Structure 1
Amino acid sequence: MIANKNITFKNILFIVTISALFISCSEKTVAVSLDNGGSSWKKMHLVIKSIPETKFSDKIYNVNDFGAVADGKTLNTIAFEKAIHKCAADGGGQVLVPNGKYLTGAIHLESNVNLHLEDNAEILFSINPKDYPIVHTSWEGTEVMNYSPLIYAKNKTNVAITGKGILNGQADSTNWWIWSGGKNYGWKKGIPSQNDPTNREVLVDMAEKGVPVAERVFGDGRYLRPNFIEFFECNTVLVKDVTVINSPFWILHPIKTNNMIIDGVTVNSHGPNNDGCDPEYSQNILIKNCTFNTGDDCIAIKSGRDADGRRVAIPSKNIIVQNCKMIDGHGGVVIGSEISAGVNNVFVENCVMDSPNLDRAIRIKTNSKRGGIIEDIFVRNLEVGTVKECVLKLNMFYNVYGSQTGNFIPTIRNVSLENITVKNGGKYSVWAEGYAQSPVENITLKNVKIQKVDSLYLLKNVKNIKFIDTYVNNKKVESVK
């Protein structure tokens, strides 16, 4: 019962509206809706402005002063550890890696530490699995106790990796890559790999059964390769200017991390599952001025696999990609397939994508085991040279590891491409497949020009797709038949 009779329905509606706006513009997230007025892109700029920048003390801790030897042979794990711990204990600053080659095992970062590489510095990471202790990490979207990532930070704030030096994982077909079980990477029958019955599928089964992460202990004898750079449950992170090569597995992996800037990074790594950057369960991630030349997806936005993703239930949101170059890869900017907690508010602009070894420009991949709601994806101002398969692919039937069907029907909606030029789009301009009960919805291509493509589109269970001022093979696309 309302005590004050002067309160009208309009008053109540106004209060509710203001409350909703206040919630949607909270510090952690900025809500975005698909529209035609450009307000979504304005909100992208609000997200960028909301991301705090890292700040460090001027104090410098040279790893050579802690016993590091730049001969490319001496194992410097302890020297790096001492320098990082001293820097953190003193309130933070820069841990300096001078010019030269430094061999090390896992590097674990601390809050308020900037690991800085001089221009001609190269960190060579050991290929001995024993140099990577077991930590709480994630593997293909499933949390696990496994080999430490080569560079790892957990529950840290204000942390960075900077400088124009090289981070070299030294992975090739004689060590980490052979664990993939791929014949192209040195594997032959009789060699153990991640595909053995006691390895990858056991981990997935543990997650399905709800086994606590602390009891999912892998590592030695399980052949699950470590990620390269992982920030786990961190806040206010910067990775700037470094070059990353020869990764065992995923390369840049922010997981459950908020407020991260990846700027001017070059990734050149053509191994199996060598995704360039995989934001997972993460928010407010800005990826700009980077170059990706990879053996898998250039950028792949994730939110957990199957039951594990639904357990964590943190969608990735406010992911921004600007002024990047994508060369080889399965996709330029990809969402999925480990996507069970959903993804929303993705912005991609001013990127160049071009290689005969780049399969797609923009891709969303999920299935009825993954589920998830993927919505509000905005792409503009792309220059696409050549892609093999298609410009835009939206697939609810992704299937790469055998049967991938279940009871979790996904949702894909609100995808906009604007101001895109393509020289060779491969097989299709748009390839979109949904379910009858959950069609792919609200797809807009505006001012898209594709000079050459085999077929206009392949559409199955798609609702409300619009072509506005869009030309394919020099013909204006008037409507969808």
Structure 2
Amino acid sequence: MNKKNFLCLLFVLLAFVMNAKDYNVIDFGAIGDGNTKNTVYLQLAIDRCAEEGGGRVIIPSGVYVTGTIFLKSHVNLHLEQNAELSGSKDLDDYPNLAKDRKGIVHAANIEDASITGFGTINGNGCDLVFQSGDSAPLRPYVVVFKNCRRMHIQNVTLRNSANWTFRIWDCDEVFVHGIRIYSHCNFNNDGIDIDARNVVVSDCMIESTDDGICFKSNHKEKLCENVTVTNCIIASNCNAIKFGTASMSGFKNITVSNCVIKTPSENDLFGYKAHMVPGVTAPVNNNSGISIEMVDAGILEKISITNITMQDVLTPIFIRLGARRPRPVKYLKDIVISNIIANGESLMTSSITGIPGYYAENIKISNVIFNCPGGGLIDHVKREIPEKEKTYPENKMFGPNLPAYGFFVRHARNVTLENVCFNLRYKDVRHAFWLDDAFNVKVLNPESDDHTSDEALVYVKNSNNVTVSGYSSPNVLPLFLKTEGKDNSRIKLMMNDFSTVKKVVELSPEVEKENVIMMSNIEK
């Protein structure tokens, strides 16, 4: 570029910056008295700003009642301190809602737009006009980004949605920073739903009745991929961090790090508590801390979740490959979960499950401390766990309890559970680890000093190439390993300290002794 062309380009850019100005909605007729409907005036300000090349549309202090307003390219919707967009309680103010659910702020097919400021967008979803049931379509979101590029939302508070709070769908390049979400008044009150590509979410606080941060895949051709979530505080009466349930195309290249899952400040309003499963030990809970679900024949791979603390979760980790759609199952693989501290509050333990013939695979979970409530009974150990291949996936799907208080692993391969510690508040007669139809599994440095049950610490059924290594405890353990099933082979106990173990192995009659291999262990 020669000097003359450069100067021309610089002049154009400077002219654009100088012409990008503020548009105060008061100047277009808006009144922030909490009663006047301002939809037309707000839209006039947005449209004028877009027509004149972009800039800031300012919402000053006050309460501005509005129906759906449509954000435009190059417009920054800026809510000043003490400014509130208050969702109208008249359904006619949300156009074509039955066929195309809108947000109060709706961005569709635009680029380079943003929502900023320290104000609030309130969906008023607690109002009776929106209390129309779980499946009712006449409930708007608070904010929607749909088929947009280079979008930004920062610092605003989103409250009391009638539906999902913030939906990001089929977008590319979205930045979400420092927003606060509080939605505890309606069905489907998800916090942030992400079905997009190249998304960064950071430093957010999310409280929701339904899923907190939820990765979705409703698009049949485009993956939810290249997403990072970090430094967030999340509370949910459902799943705090969730992949699914919608999993049409799938998920790829997603990281979640440095997040706190805390006790919700409210319990749900719609019957979860009334149907609470037996064995729950805290009055207000997150359902699952981390829930990873692939049940719609998509793909799920390259997922990293690290540095998470969890308080009051019914199930710390729930990983499920299922088949609820009449299409060939694909895969769930390549997952790393590390540095987790969780206080569990139910008998529904963490689980990794596929279905017969299809395996959850290439999963590594390491450096984990689970503080478990205990209370498991021998009936829970002997209960037959149903497959439920086509059932909606959630931690309750297998019943109110599982036969292990630590990890239940079934139809899985290439799984490593390393440096996993279980602390029991009360006696639990169940196993710490239950492996069934599991291949190439490593249980390394397991720790459960509170295990006093006569049931084995590790239970293995019809599994191949299972290695348990690095066990040591100062406390007496009645039984270390129990194995059943004629298809067991290559069960290896290596470099364990069995000096405080009364009985190392218990074999069922159909298991041949040579299929349990002992190497370099310390015996009594």
TM norm. shorter chain > 0.5: yes
Check whether the contact 1:118–1:165 (CA below 8 A) recurs between aligned residues: yes
Determine if the alignment matches structure 1 residue 102 to structure 2 residue 64.
yes
C-alpha deviation, 1:363, in angstroms: 0.5
Change (3 A) 1:179 1:279: same
Distance 1:153 1:57 in 2: 23
Check whether the contact 2:23–2:49 (CA below 8 A) recurs between aligned residues: yes
Secondary structure of 1:88's aligned partner: helix
Higher helix share: 1
Instruction: String of CA shifts for 1:69-111, please: whole Å, max 9, x gaps.
Output: 0101000011101100111111111100000111111110000
1:346-365 maps to which residues of 2 (within 5 A)? 346-355=254-263, 356-365=284-293
What's the counterpart of residue 59 of structure 1? 21
Distance 2:407 2:419 in 1: 16
Secondary structure of 1:96's aligned partner: strand
1:228-267 maps to which residues of 2 (within 5 A)? 228-267=142-181
Structure 2 letter corresponding to 1:372: G
Structure 1 letter corresponding to 2:369: K
Distance 2:51 2:298 in 1: 42
Distance 1:134 1:180 in 2: 19
- The share of aligned pairs that are identical, in percent, is 29
Instruction: String of CA shifts for 1:224-253, please: whole Å, max 9, x gaps.
Output: 422221111101111111111110111111
- Which of structures 1 and 2 has the larger relative contact order (alpha carbons within 8 angstroms, sep 6+)? 1
Instruction: String of CA shifts for 1:390-444, please: whole Å, max 9, x gaps.
Output: 111012348xxxxx45233242111111111223364355212212222111121
Structure 1 letter corresponding to 2:285: N
Determine if the alignment matches structure 1 residue 90 to structure 2 residue 18.
no
Distance 1:262 1:365 in 2: 24
Determine if the alignment matches structure 1 residue 77 to structure 2 residue 39.
yes
Structure 2 letter corresponding to 1:377: I
What's the counterpart of residue 333 of structure 1? 241
What's the counterpart of residue 320 of structure 2? 395
Structure 1 letter corresponding to 2:150: T
C-alpha deviation, 1:134, in angstroms: 2.3
1:8-27 maps to which residues of 2 (within 5 A)? none
Distance 1:107 1:440 in 2: 44
What's the counterpart of residue 73 of structure 2? 111
1:429-440 maps to which residues of 2 (within 5 A)? 430-440=350-360
Secondary structure of 1:406's aligned partner: coil
Secondary structure of 1:175's aligned partner: helix
Alignment match of 1:289 (pick from 203, 215, 220): 203
Distance 1:290 1:251 in 2: 14
Change (3 A) 1:56 1:329: farther
C-alpha deviation, 1:384, in angstroms: 1.4
Change (3 A) 1:254 1:147: closer
Secondary structure of 1:172's aligned partner: coil
Out of 71-80 and 357-366, give the one that drifted further.
Answer: 357-366
Structure 1 letter corresponding to 2:318: K
Distance 1:243 1:466 in 2: 40
What's the counterpart of residue 267 of structure 2? none
Determine if the alignment matches structure 1 residue 461 to structure 2 residue 411.
yes
Secondary structure of 2:45's aligned partner: helix
C-alpha deviation, 1:150, in angstroms: 1.5
Change (3 A) 1:173 1:72: closer
Number of residue pairs aligned between Structure 1 and Structure 2: 364
Determine if the alignment matches structure 1 residue 146 to structure 2 residue 100.
yes
Structure 1 letter corresponding to 2:308: L
Structure 1 letter corresponding to 2:119: G
Determine if the alignment matches structure 1 residue 472 to structure 2 residue 422.
yes
Change (3 A) 1:409 1:224: farther
Secondary structure of 1:394's aligned partner: strand
Determine if the alignment matches structure 1 residue 414 to structure 2 residue 334.
yes
TM-score, with structure 1 as normaliser: 0.72
Check whether the contact 1:57–1:94 (CA below 8 A) recurs between aligned residues: no
Instruction: String of CA shifts for 1:249-270, please: whole Å, max 9, x gaps.
Output: 1111111101111111111001
Runs of 5+ unmatched residues, structure 1: 1-54, 136-143, 182-192, 195-222, 399-403
Change (3 A) 1:451 1:357: closer
Change (3 A) 1:302 1:430: same
What's the counterpart of residue 22 of structure 1? none
Distance 1:89 1:303 in 2: 34
Secondary structure of 2:238's aligned partner: coil
Please report the RMSD computed on the Cα atoms of aligned residues, expressed in angstroms: 2.1
C-alpha deviation, 1:458, in angstroms: 1.7
Check whether the contact 1:428–1:453 (CA below 8 A) recurs between aligned residues: no
Check whether the contact 1:146–1:226 (CA below 8 A) recurs between aligned residues: no
Alignment match of 1:378 (pick from 299, 304, 313): 304
What's the counterpart of residue 158 of structure 1? 112
Check whether the contact 2:70–2:106 (CA below 8 A) recurs between aligned residues: yes
Change (3 A) 1:154 1:294: same
Change (3 A) 1:345 1:56: farther
Runs of 5+ unmatched residues, structure 2: 1-16, 264-283, 375-404, 425-431, 433-444, 448-457, 461-524
Secondary structure of 1:83's aligned partner: helix
Distance 1:56 1:300 in 2: 40
C-alpha deviation, 1:463, in angstroms: 1.1
